[in-house]
Amino acid sequence: MNLEELQKTDIWTIYEKHLDFMRLRHIFSDTDLNYRMYNGDQWAGLNIKGIEKIQYNFIKTTVKQKVSTITSNLFAINYSPENLETSEFSDTASKVCSLLNKKASKAWDKDFMDKKVKKWAKQAAINDEAVCYVTYDTVNNIPINEIISKNDIMYGDENEEEIQLQPYILLRQRKTIIELQQIAKDKGLPDELIKSIVGDNDTSEASGESAKDELDDKAWLITKLYRKDGTIHFSQSTKYCEFEKDSDTGLRLYPVAHFNWEDQEGNARGIGEVRQLIPNQLETNKTAMRRAITVKNIAYPNKVVDIGMVKNPEAVNTVGGVVKFNGNGTMKASDVFQVTQPAQMSADSEKLQSELITYSRDLNNASDVTTGNVNPESASGRAILAVQNAQNQPLNDQMVALKSFIEDIARIWFDMWKTYAQNGLIIEVEEKDPITGAVTTNLAQVDSFILEALNTSVKVDITPKGAYDKYAQELSLENMFIQNKISFDEYVESLDPDSVMPKAKLEEILRKRKEADKQINLMEQQANNLKNTMQMQMANDRDIDTIAEQGNNLINEMQTSM
């Protein structure tokens, strides 16, 4: 097949237009630069003989500290009903939302969302924007959340930050030729089209240096999402082969959510943390290199020798060697051999370097101080949290943006459940027996017409889980226990599984205590039973003696009367 005779698909033509736009805005080259700067490859292409490439990577420290700050909490999705205007439906709506919250919690855990949230936050901090593309597992009725690179998503309006207002969205995925040909066969495409699916070497604009090298032949699969007649449709193709022309997903929302580290006017993709630190990082490294070269050239003493007056030149560089001079014996050693004094280097370069690092981190709220001037051994957990919260105020925008991002994902989940659970949504509900403590799993079904009628609002509950949050919480519980406001059992039960106090060990102590109490109660019960048996036996013996005595008395009376 002559590929030159084939016509490019419509999607591919749109895709090429977006490629040109993204190149114009340096999105691909900036992505590589941002990740190189974060990962420490800050002297790419530099080659200086005789000296190592020095760098002080404060970019990674800054990003790690900020990402850990905004992701130091546990997140939980909470659906609540909005359509409570009809009293007969309000109770049903509340119960269904309670079930959806359990379903969302299961979906969150199964897809390791806590780990993914950290990755999204890190991605946004490094490269401006993090993207979640949600697909659906129809077998288990759970959403699958994919982490998409900024390089692999293209917006119909690159100036509009709101995803749901986009006229269309392009997503590209790098897949092997075997995968693509199998997809084409499954869709029943003719052999002529399948043969047009061939590998390319178009990896120069893939995200990451490692992604530019591939083991197998691959090609780009382009998916176009667009809104039509109130629902989301999609088309899909490679360069020459169209997989889907116009397919209705049935969804009301784009299955895409994104998190911009910081808003930038007129830019759908925002601006990240690394981009703003690059100039200071490069100047810091250059200053370090200049200092190193200067130290190498002038900071050490050098030998100056009139080599023609030395009989044994090899002794000049030999430790403890004897240098022999030519001459009549009246020559001074200083006439032939001298050592220069090291030059003094200005302290301004060191001062500049230190200021660049310190001010860059301080101005970006990433200094080494994480708890303020508070001693954690002498201060209360609440005092430490107060200082931390004050220091974290500059990151409020990122915290709010991350929370909004998770809420967008939760809305997409609910949209998918409404759309794809045609026979009703099956939800696993765990119930704990209040007496035995045994946990049983039951299945509850929510009919599709109820999901369709249900309107929900979504909020994300945040549970603090930082070290000092735990410290403050456990200290409060401990004080309540000391003040006899709660029992020891209640104190242990209130501890989190990952608490500083060893909850599992305390529960084992309680278990052993209860087992010992059970044994003592059993022994006491057995002793009481034995005591009662003996008392009954003694009573029976007394009754027998009484009857015998009465019988003897009767016999004596009868004998006397005779």
Predicted local confidence at residue 86, as pLDDT: 63
Strand partners, 174: 220
Residue 355 lies in a domain: no
pLDDT in tens, 339-384: 777 666 666 666 766 766 675 566 555 555 443 444 554 455 455 4
Which of 458, 416, 449, 437 is closest to 251 using CA atoms?
416
Residue 139 lies in a domain: yes
The total number of structural domains in the chain stands at 1
Residue 448 lies in a domain: no
Average per-residue pLDDT in the chain?
A: 81
Residue 476 lies in a domain: no
CB atoms within 10 A of CB 380: 15
What would the two tokens of residue 408 be?
């967008």
Residue 19 lies in a domain: yes
* SS3 labels along 127-146: HCEEEEEEEEECCCCEEEEE
Which of 230, 222, 202 is closest to 214 using CA atoms?
202
Q: CB-hemisphere CA count at 13 Å for 271?
A: 10
- Cα separation, 59 vs 279, in Å, equals 11
Low-confidence residues of the chain, pLDDT below 50?
369-374, 377-378, 381, 384-387
What would the two tokens of residue 263 be?
């808003």
Given the DSSP bridges, would you call strands 142-148 and 153-155 parallel, antiparallel or unpaired?
unpaired
H or E element, residue 556: helix 503-561
Q: Residue 163 sits in which domain range?
A: 3-53+111-273
pLDDT in tens, 458-506: 888 766 555 555 666 677 777 787 888 888 888 787 777 666 677 778 8
Residue 169 lies in a domain: yes
Residue 257 lies in a domain: yes
Q: In sequence order, what E strands does 358-455 have? A: 425-432, 439-446
Predicted local confidence at residue 436, as pLDDT: 64
Residue 285 lies in a domain: no
